[in-house]
A and B are shown apart, each in its own frame.
Chain A
């Protein structure tokens, strides 16, 4: 079957760094994406990795290791507004995008 595993919940303090891991098992793999979703809102695209390594976009970075079927999202200088759910997603074969169940991030003052 196809599955993505990520922690259900992470808590961190304002200004800290947090890492959200994602492991995947899918038939076909074109890349790993990350999305942020605030309560009551729609998912918004954060980053995409097709090749191994680190991609940096401002305070957010994303990493991929294809050999380990593993990636992570790194959030630096956490702000209260970063409290949200974060989803990893894999674009696999057949033009399907599979999402993980999401990691709920709580940022405390």
Chain B
């Protein structure tokens, strides 16, 4: 167990809708990263938050946005859902900014129909 939790476990949405995924990091972990993992692929970096500010972003459009809160929780918001957004969404926390040992949550499986 990594101490990182995510909710919900599974979610089904319709194209064009909006979704919010949640993550709760380990206490003391100031950095959280979000990843998208398609079936059979490696995790793709979406963005990273450090002390409630975005400090790194991958090649994802602005409709992917996030928030990090002082209580070590964070959110990933995706607007105008597309079919290709169907994937496993993982959050990972670590104690250092840009640090290397990341603790992953179990993920949220999002299906867009």
The answer, among B97, B104, B106, B107, for a CB contact under 8 Å with A95, is B97
Range class of the B interface residue count? 20 to 34
Q: Tell me whether B41 and A43 are in contact (CB under 8 A).
A: no
- Residues of chain A lying within 8 A (CB to CB) of residue B56: 94-96
Say whether A83 faces chain B, with CB atoms less than 8 Å apart.
Answer: no
Say whether A18 faces chain B, with CB atoms less than 8 Å apart.
Answer: no
Asked, given contacts A42-B2, A44-B2, A91-B98, whether A96 binds B45 with beta carbons under 8 Å apart, the answer is yes
Q: Tell me whether A45 and B42 are in contact (CB under 8 A).
A: no
Chain B residues numbered 40-77 whose CB sits less than 8 Å from any CB in chain A:
40-45, 48, 50, 55-58
In angstroms, Cα B48 to Cα A42, docked, is 18
Q: Tell me whether B42 and A42 are in contact (CB under 8 A).
A: no
Say whether A97 faces chain B, with CB atoms less than 8 Å apart.
Answer: yes
Q: Tell me whether A99 and B2 are in contact (CB under 8 A).
A: no
Per-position contact with B for A25-62: 1 when CB-CB < 8 Å, else 0?
Answer: 00000110100000001111100101000000000000
